[in-house]
Amino acid sequence: MSLATLLVLGDGRLPSGGHAHSGGLEAQVAAGRVHDVASTGEFLLGRLVTSGLVAAVFAAYSCARVDRWDELDAGMDARTPSPALRKASRAQGRALLRAGRAMWPVATIGRDPHHPVALGALANAAGLGPLEAAVAAAHGTVTGPASAAVRLLGLDPYEVHALIARLAPECDRIAADAASRIGDPVDDLPAAGAPLLDIGAELHATWEVRLFAS
């Protein structure tokens, strides 16, 4: 494993369009559920243990078995009930592949794969393993919304990054759990859901004015 390569993959400055997505945070801010540092921390933890776990598992599996991308992509579809979130995930997957193919020879996995499937394929092309792919997925689940929180709520960025640091052990735990499941049937992989994220995404998609795409 190359730690430097993992840092490249997890760098928020990677030109894959992640800055345009709030991970569902914008809708929750508008609803008044997230309004300060403490509630941001609760949101990040909730997202990590639900959609973050699913993303980590599918990224790890995709890294280990790129040849099963179509089955994994269908599995992500089944675990993403919101059409708006499916659209956002595929848009991010497409953008990630475009960035990744400028760096490594990434396997052909369809034109618009779900983001975790694309992330796993990219990790594989970069010479990383399933655990590293899962770490990148879990970490990205919280860093994107955390960055959005600073912009949406005007929070102190130092305090927000302290939240990310405190979530690091949980990211590691989820990544290790995810990597241990790559031998399971795809249908048996975790399907942890967050209904408020699904509902919020559908409402957010109807807004005429919004700061983030999702």
Note the pLDDT tens digit of each residue in 19-39. Answer: 889 999 999 999 999 999 999
pLDDT for res 1: 56
15 part of a folded domain: no
| Mean pLDDT (whole number) for 71-98 | 95
17 part of a folded domain: no
Q: Are 23 and 144 in contact (CB under 8 A)?
A: yes
Retrieve residue 44's tokens. Answer: 């990040």
| Mean pLDDT (whole number) for 186-199 | 93
158 part of a folded domain: yes
C-alpha dihedral, 147 to 30 to 92 to 129, nearest 10°: 50
pLDDT for res 146: 96
136 part of a folded domain: yes
211 part of a folded domain: no
pLDDT exceeds 80 at position 6: yes
212: exposed, middle or buried (Cβ count in 10 Å: 0-12, 13-18, 19+): buried
Domain that holds residue 68: 3-7+25-204
Retrieve residue 25's tokens. Answer: 């945070």
Q: What percent of the chain has pLDDT over 90?
A: 86
73 part of a folded domain: yes
pLDDT for res 124: 95
| Residues 174, 180, 119, 102, CA torsion sign | positive
76 part of a folded domain: yes
Quote the CA–CA distance of 50 and 195 in Å, as a whole number. 10
214 part of a folded domain: no
Q: Are 23 and 88 in contact (CB under 8 A)?
A: no
**pLDDT band with cut points at 50, 70 and 90 for residue 172:** very high
pLDDT exceeds 90 at position 15: no
| Mean pLDDT (whole number) for 60-72 | 95
pLDDT for res 25: 96
Q: Domain containing 150 — which CATH number?
A: 1.10.4190.10
Quote the CA–CA distance of 132 and 10 in Å, as a whole number. 10
pLDDT for res 53: 97
pLDDT for res 10: 84
| Residues 141, 148, 205, 24, CA torsion sign | positive
| Residues 204, 152, 158, 196, CA torsion sign | negative
Question: What does pLDDT average to over the chain?
Answer: 94
Q: Tell me how many domains the chain contains.
A: 1
| Mean pLDDT (whole number) for 46-75 | 96
| Mean pLDDT (whole number) for 171-176 | 97
Taking the alpha carbons at both ends of the chain, their separation in whole angstroms is: 33
